[in-house]
Structure 1
Amino acid sequence: MSLSLKSSLGRFRMIGILEGISYLVLLGIAMPLKYWANLPMAVKLVGWAHGVLFVAYMLSLVSVTFDRRWSFGRVLVAFVASLVPFGTFWLDARLKKEDQQSAV
């Protein structure tokens, strides 16, 4: 199944991927540039973008929670996934697998 932005789950997955990418860029590129190359502007710009995407992730998590009637445990896992590097990619893989199994 491809990502469909028409459903709350599709939007959540897309925002999760973007949020995960921004987190990795912040940790792996912007932070080293700040501390090793004395370029603090990198963290300012990437950090701002990541913050916006994090808020969008949380709002889309609320939306998908109500649309799909997710349990508290599932919402907690989705929240924690946003805090762990590569966590949103792991969650996306699980959601994609579930989506494919339910389509069969």
Structure 2
Amino acid sequence: MFNTSVGILRFFGILEGISYLVLLLIAMPLKYFLDLPIAVTIVGGLHGFLFVLYVIMIAFVKFKKRWSYLWGIWAVFLAFIPLGTFYLDKQLKTKE
């Protein structure tokens, strides 16, 4: 998986997707139902960092592979949808 730039992008996509799900399904309920805002602070910071790495990797792969700008916009858009990065991973697996 780490042999190619697409493989590294897939790895960061999976990490970003997991952090997003943890933020939405664990940290936010802890904040709003159990009054534990520290969970969102910690997981939100980690998710933000992983999101930035993911977008950087999208840009890197886009320019290295000479894929279209529309593909790059699509890849970033999928990061805002829960499970979207896993869908992109499935698409990238077929391109690799």
- The TM-score normalised by the length of structure 1 is 0.89
Looking at structure 1, the residues matched to 69 and 48 of structure 2 have their Cα atoms a distance apart, in angstroms, of 24
- The TM-score normalised by the length of structure 2 is 0.96
Looking at structure 1, the residues matched to 59 and 43 of structure 2 have their Cα atoms a distance apart, in angstroms, of 24
The letter of the residue matching 1:64 is V
Kindly name which structure, 1 or 2, has the bigger radius of gyration based on alpha carbons. Answer: 1
What is the aligned counterpart of 2:63 among 56, 59, 66?
A: 66
Looking at structure 1, the residues matched to 27 and 92 of structure 2 have their Cα atoms a distance apart, in angstroms, of 29
Q: What do the CA deviations read for 1:50-87 (whole angstroms, capped 9, x no partner)?
A: 00000000111111011111101111110101111000
Q: What do the CA deviations read for 1:29-61 (whole angstroms, capped 9, x no partner)?
A: 000000000000000000010000000001111
CA RMSD of aligned residues (A): 0.8
Looking at structure 1, the residues matched to 70 and 30 of structure 2 have their Cα atoms a distance apart, in angstroms, of 37
> Which residue of structure 2 aligns with residue 56 of structure 1?
53
Identity %, equivalent residues = 50
Looking at structure 2, the residues matched to 13 and 98 of structure 1 have their Cα atoms a distance apart, in angstroms, of 11
5+ unaligned residues in a row in structure 1: which ranges?
Answer: 100-104
> Which residue of structure 2 aligns with residue 89 of structure 1?
86
Give the aligned length. Answer: 96
> Which residue of structure 1 aligns with residue 40 of structure 2?
43
Looking at structure 1, the residues matched to 3 and 42 of structure 2 have their Cα atoms a distance apart, in angstroms, of 29
